[in-house]
């Protein structure tokens, strides 16, 4: 056998071994090392995009993690998606800790970030740090996300000083929806765009490890990405260093929410409806359970 025909065989064997390792580990990615905040900053430096999705429970988090997502956000969007509230404001600290600890139990690889809910960090830095420590201790998550810029800088600094990694969130910050009065695109005007840029620089300089930008013009996102060292994760904000979506939205489980930025990767609502319909039919017809499904 000549050396030319040996190489492809080795390559095939190596690929098969890798495939076997991936299947055995249950992960769809070969690099199953735990994602860290440090690794995310390296990814930006190396021009690698960061993929982030929300999860609120153990089962979904396990699936999303094994598919190879980089960051799982236990978003306060749990208030809308899991509890059926109109806004993110009603969800409590205890409820966020419940969701985050469920997610943490399902995740081995992704970085798990938990939202600090409304009212737990806006009063003052002391209360913010106390609540931040509670979430970290009781849920076991890796980092926290807070909405806002210069207004919450003392709290962000104090949480960082306590050794807790912080992800910023600027643009359409849903905890301020009552102040905005609308879910329209933010920072279209120069003054608001300038403030957002300066807030992003501040968060990055203070030591936040990443910043989410929600529903702002793509050109502004590009400027932020160029001006801050840390990864910028967009949602309805055009191209950035990474993207985030609410998992129930991108899987097509939520029907009434169709903003322009939302790409649906599945139609699980229809899949579930069909499966439940078939189950009902089978039960009513006494087709389920069969003898093979009985003891």
Residue 115 or 241: the one with the smaller Cβ distance to ligand KIV is: 115
Short-list 170, 184, 263, 270, CA closest to 225 = 170
Nearest distance from C-beta of residue 88 to ligand KIV, angstroms: 6
Helix (H, G, I), strand (E, B) or coil at 278: helix
Nearest distance from C-beta of residue 77 to ligand KIV, angstroms: 3
Nearest distance from C-beta of residue 78 to ligand KIV, angstroms: 7
- To the nearest 10 degrees (0 to 180), the angle between helices 93-106 and 125-139 is 40
Q: Round to whole Å and give the CA distance between 130 and 164.
A: 12
Q: Round to whole Å and give the CA distance between 78 and 61.
A: 13
Sequential DSSP letters for 167-201: EEEEES-GGGHHHH-S-SPP--SHHHHHHHHHHHH
Number of other CB atoms surrounding residue 117 within 10 Å = 23
State the number of CA atoms in the 13 A half-sphere of 42 facing the CB. 6
What is the CA 147 to chain-centroid distance, rounded?
14
The answer to whether residue 291 is catalytic is no
Residue nearest ligand KIV (C-beta atom): 75
Residue 193 or 212: the one with the smaller Cβ distance to ligand KIV is: 212
Residue 235 or 240: the one with the smaller Cβ distance to ligand KIV is: 235
Nearest distance from C-beta of residue 282 to ligand KIV, angstroms: 36
Within 8 A by CB and 6+ apart from 288, the residues are 279, 282
From the candidates 127, 190, 205, 214, which is the catalytic residue?
A: 214
Residue 60 or 235: the one with the smaller Cβ distance to ligand KIV is: 235
Within 8 A by CB and 6+ apart from 129, the residues are 155, 158, 159, 162
Binding site for ligand KIV (CB under 6 A): 54, 73, 75-77, 115, 212, 214, 235, 244, 246
Residue 129 or 244: the one with the smaller Cβ distance to ligand KIV is: 244
Nearest distance from C-beta of residue 212 to ligand KIV, angstroms: 5
Residues belonging to the active site: 214
């Amino acid at each position: 056998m000549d050396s030319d025909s040996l190489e492809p065989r080795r390559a095939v064997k190596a690929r098969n071994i890798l495939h076997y390792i991936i299947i055995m580990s249950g992960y769809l990615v070969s690099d199953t090392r735990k994602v860290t905040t440090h690794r995310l900053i390296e990814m930006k430096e190396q021009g690698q995009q960061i993929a982030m999705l929300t999860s609120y429970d153990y089962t979904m988090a396990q699936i999303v993690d094994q598919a190879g997502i980089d960051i799982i956000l236990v978003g306060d969007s749990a208030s809308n998606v899991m509890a059926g509230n109109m806004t993110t404001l009603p969800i409590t600290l205890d409820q966020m800790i419940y969701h985050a600890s469920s997610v943490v139990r399902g995740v081995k690889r992704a970085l798990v970030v938990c939202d600090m809910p409304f009212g737990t960090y806006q009063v003052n830095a002391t209360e913010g740090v106390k609540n931040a420590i509670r979430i970290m201790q009781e849920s076991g998550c890796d980092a926290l996300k807070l909405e806002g810029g210069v207004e919450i800088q003392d709290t962000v600094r104090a949480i960082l000083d306590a050794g807790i990694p912080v992800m910023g969130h600027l643009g359409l910050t849903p905890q301020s929806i009552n102040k905005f009065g609308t879910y329209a695109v933010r920072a279209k005007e120069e003054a608001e765009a300038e403030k957002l840029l300066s807030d992003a620089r501040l968060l990055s300089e203070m030591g936040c490890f990443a910043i989410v930008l929600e529903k702002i013009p793509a050109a502004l996102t590009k400027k932020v990405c160029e001006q801050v060292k840390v990864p910028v994760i967009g949602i309805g904000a055009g191209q950035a260093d990474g993207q985030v979506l609410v998992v129930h939205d991108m899987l097509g489980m939520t029907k009434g929410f169709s903003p322009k930025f939302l790409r649906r990767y599945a139609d699980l609502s229809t899949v579930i409806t069909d499966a439940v319909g078939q189950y009902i039919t089978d039960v009513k017809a006494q087709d389920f359970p069969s003898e093979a499904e009985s003891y």
